[in-house]
């Protein structure tokens, strides 16, 4: 509904399409990007649990990665990782 | 029009009886003086099976309003009541209810706000809610409480409005007064108030989102849509009131007048003090003072045009405020009324008496004194009436 006039807005700002936030890419907010060093990873899944965007997923080998379309670079995963396997790197 | 039996009843109980006739699905009411008798009597009506309502016994007013918003979003007709600190605790949620266009109805038993603690009556609790996007209607006596409550859902749920409604019932002065009132039959109310047909409901079968996040490309449109809905609601409110008059014979207007013909000075009141002010006007007229009375019934949306018409020939307006708007140099009704006349070529002198704070009785004699003083006014005044020094 971006660009809609006030008359076109559905009363109460009701969003009729479920899951429409998927279309909003919070990755655009990011200035630091998490980079995983799998050699230090113990596969505990804490980064997966703590990511506020829910954008961390596990690959077939059990290691973790972020979907950069949605990773906003908050650094919580890096902060919470026990082993220091995640480093926040400046976006170039 | 059918001749109806009038019955004597405490006004708070009558408010609950009226709510009980509205086929309310969910009520979430946390008791607080002087609203408690509404909460108690409504729960009696539910317990006695007189109304098929889910009564949620919440732990605070913040929750009562949250329950109402959630219930309303699922398509239920929702009701609550509060006042004073309870209303202040609810404050956070009021703009959410209006932005989500939840047609909730709330009775507010107007009471002061702390500190100092005072449980009696004035309008200090409703004034901080002015900008929350609710329709706010004031009542003057028990019959009006019954009528306005019975009409509230018709107004709130109208597809051109879809906004929550507050009915202001001055604490104690009205809530605890026993007055003669008449009630329409349940059948008549069922006809007047059809079941609520929401435009959208929260249901897992048809997922949708209400009150969602909005970025700057969207947020201002949203605010304008809500403001326009409130501004435009006035004509529909009047239409509902007209229908009520045709069916039940009692007339309601956004601004009501009493003996304003040719009046040089017009007193402006809101809420329960209006009837006392009428007696004051009678006494002043008997003394030869040219005074009339204008009563603000509809506080939001503010009836600017109706007010201009009602006072068009007056030299002086004396606005009686039952609340303070600290730091603005006047009471809240006063500052709103001054704004109405800013764009006019000729405007009355507007004086402001803040009175009746914390339950101070305002008597007929007080209105006579204020009327006589206002009639001599040469310029704008702002006075705490009756406060020494
Ligand atoms: S930086 Fe923040 S958003 Fe990105 S993956 Fe880590 S926790 Fe998630
Ligand atoms: S928190 Fe660190 S160690 Fe645990 S799974 Fe994530 S990257 Fe690996």
Q: What is the pLDDT of residues B72-129, one digit of tens each?
A: 999 999 999 999 999 999 999 999 999 999 999 999 999 999 999 999 999 999 999 9
pLDDT at B389 over 80: no
pLDDT of residue B388: 84
Q: Which pair of tokens denotes residue A1?
A: 């509904």
d(CA B79, CA A84): 53
CB B348 within 8 A of CB B315: yes
Residue with tokens 């939840």: B102
Tell me what the mean pLDDT of segment A13-18 comes to. Answer: 86
Fold agreement (B6-248, B255-384): yes
Ordered by start, the domain boundaries in chain B are 6-248, 255-384
Please tell me if the CB atom of residue A86 comes closer than 6 angstroms to any atom of ligand 2. yes
Residue of B199, B215, B222 with shortest CB distance to A13: B222
pLDDT at B184 over 90: yes
User: Which CATH code for domain A24-90?
Assistant: 3.30.70.20
pLDDT at B312 over 60: yes
Tell me what the mean pLDDT of segment B200-211 comes to. Answer: 90
CB B356 within 8 A of CB B269: no
CB A57 within 8 A of CB A67: yes
pLDDT of residue A1: 53
Q: CB–CB of B208 and A21 under 8 A? A: no
pLDDT of residue A59: 97
Q: CB–CB of A18 and B208 under 8 A? A: yes
Tell me what the mean pLDDT of segment B207-218 comes to. Answer: 87
pLDDT confidence of B243, banded at 50, 70, 90?
very high
pLDDT of residue B211: 86
pLDDT of residue B118: 97
- The gap between the terminal CA atoms of chain B, to the nearest Å, is 54
Neighbours of B304 (CB within 10 A): 17
Measure in Å the smallest separation between the Cα of B211 and chain A Cα atoms.
6
Residue of A3, A6, A21 with shortest CB distance to B225: A6
pLDDT in tens, A45-80: 999 999 999 999 999 999 999 999 999 999 999 999
Mean pLDDT of all residues belonging to chain B: 96
Tell me what the mean pLDDT of segment B332-342 comes to. Answer: 97
CA dihedral B9, B11, B13, B17 (to 10 degrees): 90
pLDDT of residue B212: 83
List helix spans (H) across chain B: 11-20, 36-47, 61-73, 84-90, 94-99, 142-157, 186-192, 219-248, 273-286, 304-310, 332-341, 364-375
pLDDT of residue A2: 59
Q: What are the pocket residues of ligand 1 if the criterion is a CB atom closer than 6 Å to any ligand atom?
A: A 34, 51, 53, 55-56, 66, 71-77
CATH class of B255-384: alpha beta
Architecture of domain B6-248: 3-Layer(aba) Sandwich (3.40)
d(CA B13, CA B41): 6
């Amino acid at each position: 509904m971006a660009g809609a006039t006030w008359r076109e807005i559905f009363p109460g700002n009701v969003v009729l399409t479920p899951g429409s936030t998927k279309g909003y890419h919070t990755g655009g907010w990011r200035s630091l990007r998490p980079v995983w060093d799998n050699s230090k990873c113990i596969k505990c899944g804490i980064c997966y649990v703590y990511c506020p965007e829910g954008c961390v997923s596990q690959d077939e080998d059990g290691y973790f990665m972020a979907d950069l379309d949605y990773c906003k670079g908050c650094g919580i995963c890096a902060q919470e990782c026990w082993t220091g396997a995640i480093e926040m790197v400046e976006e170039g | 029009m059918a001749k109806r039996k009038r019955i004597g009843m405490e006004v708070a109980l009558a408010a609950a009886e009226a709510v009980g006739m509205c086929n309310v699905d969910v009520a979430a009411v946390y008791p607080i003086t002087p609203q408690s008798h509404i909460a108690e009597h409504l729960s009696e009506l539910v317990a006695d099976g007189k109304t098929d309502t889910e009564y949620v016994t919440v732990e605070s007013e913040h929750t009562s309003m949250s329950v109402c918003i959630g219930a309303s979003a699922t398509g239920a007709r929702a009701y609550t009541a509060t006042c004073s600190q309870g209303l202040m605790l609810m404050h956070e949620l009021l703009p959410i209810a209006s932005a989500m266009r939840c047609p909730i109805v709330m009775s507010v038993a107007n009471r002061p706000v702390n500190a100092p603690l005072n449980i009696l009556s004035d309008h200090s609790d409703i004034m901080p809610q002015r900008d929350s996007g609710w329709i706010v209607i004031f009542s003057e006596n028990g019959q009006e409480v019954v009528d306005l409550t019975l009409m509230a859902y018709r107004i709130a749920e109208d597809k051109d409005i879809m906004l929550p409604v507050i009915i202001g019932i001055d604490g104690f002065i009205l809530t605890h007064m026993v007055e003669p009132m008449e009630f329409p039959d349940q059948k008549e109310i069922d006809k007047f108030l059809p079941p609520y047909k929401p435009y959208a409901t929260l249901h897992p079968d048809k997922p949708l989102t209400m009150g969602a996040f909005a970025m700057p490309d969207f947020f201002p449109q949203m605010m304008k849509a809500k403001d326009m809905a409130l501004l435009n609601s006035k004509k529909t409110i009047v239409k509902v009131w007209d229908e009520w008059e045709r069916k039940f014979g009692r007339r309601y207007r956004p601004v009501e007048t009493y003996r304003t013909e040719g009046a040089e000075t017009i007193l402006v009141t809101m809420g329960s003090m209006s009837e006392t002010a009428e007696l004051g006007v009678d006494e002043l007229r008997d003394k030869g003072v040219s005074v009339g009375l204008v009563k603000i019934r509809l506080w939001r949306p503010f009836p600017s045009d109706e007010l201009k018409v009602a006072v068009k020939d007056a030299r002086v307006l004396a606005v009686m405020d039952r609340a303070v708007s600290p730091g603005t140099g006047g009471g809240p009704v006063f500052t709103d009324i001054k704004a109405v006349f800013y764009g006019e070529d000729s405007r009355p002198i507007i004086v402001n008496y803040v009175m009746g704070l914390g339950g101070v009785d305002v008597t007929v004699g007080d209105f006579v004194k204020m009327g006589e003083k206002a009639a001599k006014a040469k310029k704008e005044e702002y006075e705490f009436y009756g406060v020494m020094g």
